[in-house]
Structure 1
Amino acid sequence: MIQPRAPLGALQYRDRYVTPRSCFPSGNVGFREHSASVRRIAGIVLAVLLVGGVVAAVVAGRDTGDKGTATKTVRAVIGSEKAEFFADPDVVKALAAKGYTVKAETSGSWAMEGLDLKGYDLAFPSSQAPADELAAKYKARQPLPVPFYSPLVVVAHRGAAEVLADNGLAVLDKNRGTLRMAAYLEAAERDRTWQQLKGAEKYGELTGTLYIASTDPESSNSGALYLAAASYVAAGGKVAASDADVDRTAPLMRKLVSVQGAQQSSTDAAFRDFVSGAGNPLVLVYESQVASLLGAGQSVDDLAVLYPDTTANSDHTVVPLTENGRSLGELLSTDPELRELAVRHGFRPQGATAEFTKATAAHAEYLNQKLTGIRQAPVPTSEVLHAMARRARG
């Protein structure tokens, strides 16, 4: 069972009654009594007018189909990377205008399969594979709404990115670059350390084994997608489709994971650690997290964003468990205001690139807006990806 927690994004109102302090001049009693009488009459008249106005407003709302007040409460389990989106007051307001209040709880995308979702209206994992698992389990009607997506990227400190570029592992252009996945995987297979890379001695934090910090692939979507992309490159451009395919790349996948030690269960925590200056100099996150941070006017000292030349998209997919859940998923996909708000939070709406390109124009030095030169790796079935994650975790 999901542990109860304060819902994210729920719209709440609190009535506040204020009694004004009265100040009357001292004088003869007759004047004060007359004034009090006048005030009582005026108060009665005002109350009648107010009641009439409220009744008129309610009737008008019914007559015009006013949806200014949310009428449907939708319970959702979402990936943690979407928590800020649903908690955004503008998103709450936009949903309320369409008749919805969303009460959201967070979970790792792959961990959703083990939850009891009875009483929930939708699950909103971060990619197609766990969504397909949930859809099969709960017999959700196809097609599943996919409101937006985000590619995986590697955030790096500028010094680390420069060292990778100087050693042929990346191509860097100011604060944005491309990670050469084949070269990186070869370095990982050989257990290369930062000290073996020329130029690393200039940066005290660049020590130990070279690796990209990722999330737990058995519970987190981004960690699983990282293995999907890495195995695809390691297999020479072949997507894993059987136990034999998993076996061929298992030793390398194991190295990518075991070198990290304890892994975070969500990209939200991993990204916050990076922004605070803690943790590894290379961290796998969603592009949406970087775009959202930059769009909010925040900055990270010496930030560089590396797009793996072969990566995997995180297709944020709604699994409707009720008709209200499906209606909300479709609304997120089609409503212009909600699409615009999704872009504000760094997501790329499905079916269009102009919205994202325009909204992130000020941050093009960090973001590969059109994903130029980036190849998408096909993602194995959920069954194969689960097997790959288990083998990688040992």
Structure 2
Amino acid sequence: MRRIAGIVLAVLLIGGVVAAVVAGRGEGDTSTATKTVRAVIGSEKAEFFADPDVVKALAAKGYTVRAETSGSWAMEGLDLAGYDLALPSSRAPALGLAAKYGVRGELPRPFYSPLVVVAHENAAEVLAAGGLARLDAPRRGTLDMARYLDAAREDRTWQQLRGAAKYPELTGTLYLSSTDPETSNSGALYLAAASYVANGGRVVASRAEVDRTAPLLRKLVSVQGAQQSGSDAVFRDFVSGAGNPLVVVYESQVAALLAGGERPDDLVVLYPDTTVTSDHTAVPLTAGGRAVAALLSTDPRLRELEVRYGFRPQGAPTAFASATAYLRTELTGIHQAAVPTSPVLHELARRARGQGGERT
């Protein structure tokens, strides 16, 4: 599968299992001594930091990054004493971490990636036939979020969609698989996008709006059963052919797969017509962490490597270019939904997981 330089350690911390990724010196690296920076990162960035070219680029600037992965929202429950940098997958959990650890000033946002839905070809074909999606290239299309949410409200099954009869493997309730919204950023952002559409194209902000959208969000989550705590595992399951035929992931994960030389015959990428962009946001906890965050934002070589892994560098909209039919170079026509505040998004996640409605 995709390039993995090394997953060498698993440690049990508060909130779940955190896997450590070596992002130190690779074989043949003859650079001089470097300063070690300990970082906790979202799992979708593990392969980027483990890439030997990334290791070399950081070492050339005097740094070795030892990264451990965690669900972005689960980072709030970790003890980050002794760490230099936290790099969750969006701004909301980063702001929570900054407040917790007294980090002041603007937080660096080196790159971003929109949420997409990966689909097996048969599923994409049936969604298009049923009016829930539009295919604009052999391996790419757009998901109509409003129509999908209507189908979710009605508990629609695959068998009720036109064209599904010739695919006996498409059975049961139609739904998107996502990660646990209480621990994982991609799962939380999926709820943010869905709640925005369900709320009439407005960000959910009040208790009344939470109450109004929570029943639908509960349906979106409860139909999935057990959920993974990180998007990397969900995406790997999909690529291996396991699980649900529709999965919410980051665009960057698809780009990294393609960059590794894989071209799955039955992969179709659907861009929700209303989606949320994941702003990967750095929380520097020490001077070393601030230095690495700055390098990720400004160093030309590191920005080239970010694009290789499908991350769209901030301030350089033309830097991201896809040579494949799976991905869109431009996001024209894709509406970017606003994300609720951290307390509201936490409450939406709680309600979606069936944990009552006494708080906002």
TM-score computed with the length of structure 2 as normaliser:
0.91
Residues 5-38 of structure 1: per-residue CA shift (max 9 Å, x gap)? 65421226799xxxxxxxxxxxxxxxxxxxxxxx
| 2:188 pairs with one of 224, 233, 247 | 224
Unaligned runs of 5+ in 2: 1-11, 355-360
Give the letter for the 1:393 counterpart: R
Determine whether 1:374 maps to 2:334: yes
Specify the alignment match of 1:169 in structure 2.
132
How far, CA to CA, are the matches of 1:166 and 1:71 in structure 2? Answer: 56
How far, CA to CA, are the matches of 2:56 and 2:28 in structure 1? Answer: 16
SS of the counterpart of 1:8?
strand
Instruction: Give RMSD over aligned pairs.
Output: 1.6
Determine whether 1:315 maps to 2:279: yes
Give the letter for the 1:331 counterpart: L
SS of the counterpart of 1:355?
coil
| 1:369, distance to aligned residue in structure 2 (A) | 1.2
Specify the alignment match of 1:211 in structure 2.
175
| 1:188 pairs with one of 136, 149, 152 | 152
Q: How has the CA–CA distance of structure 1 residues 221 and 5 changed in structure 2, closer, same or farther, with 3 Å as cutoff?
A: closer
Give the % identical residues: 74
Specify the alignment match of 2:5 in structure 1.
none
| 1:302, distance to aligned residue in structure 2 (A) | 1.1
| 2:220 pairs with one of 241, 244, 256 | 256
Report if the CA contact (8 A) 1:70-1:98 is conserved. Answer: no
| 1:70, distance to aligned residue in structure 2 (A) | 4.1
Determine whether 1:386 maps to 2:352: no
| 1:11 pairs with one of 25, 34, 43 | 25
Matches within 5 A, 1:82-101: 82-101=45-64
Determine whether 1:342 maps to 2:306: yes
Specify the alignment match of 2:113 in structure 1.
150
Specify the alignment match of 1:76 in structure 2.
39
Q: How has the CA–CA distance of structure 1 residues 158 and 196 changed in structure 2, closer, same or farther, with 3 Å as cutoff?
A: same
Give the letter for the 2:203 counterpart: V
How far, CA to CA, are the matches of 2:261 and 2:182 in structure 1? Answer: 34
Determine whether 1:119 maps to 2:86: no
Residues 231-272 of structure 1: per-residue CA shift (max 9 Å, x gap)? 000010110112221111000000000000011111100000
SS of the counterpart of 1:354?
coil
Q: How has the CA–CA distance of structure 1 residues 355 and 70 changed in structure 2, closer, same or farther, with 3 Å as cutoff?
A: farther
Specify the alignment match of 2:73 in structure 1.
110
Q: Bigger radius of gyration, 1 or 2?
A: 1
| 1:300, distance to aligned residue in structure 2 (A) | 1.4
Specify the alignment match of 1:33 in structure 2.
none
How far, CA to CA, are the matches of 1:233 and 1:349 in structure 2? Answer: 27
How far, CA to CA, are the matches of 1:308 and 1:178 in structure 2? Answer: 6
Specify the alignment match of 1:326 in structure 2.
290
Give the letter for the 1:377 counterpart: A
How far, CA to CA, are the matches of 2:319 and 2:328 in structure 1? Answer: 14
Specify the alignment match of 1:42 in structure 2.
none
TM-score computed with the length of structure 1 as normaliser:
0.84
How far, CA to CA, are the matches of 1:392 and 1:4 in structure 2? Answer: 24
How far, CA to CA, are the matches of 2:33 and 2:352 in structure 1? Answer: 45
Residues 338-393 of structure 1: per-residue CA shift (max 9 Å, x gap)? 00001111111111122112xx2x21x11111012101000011100000000000
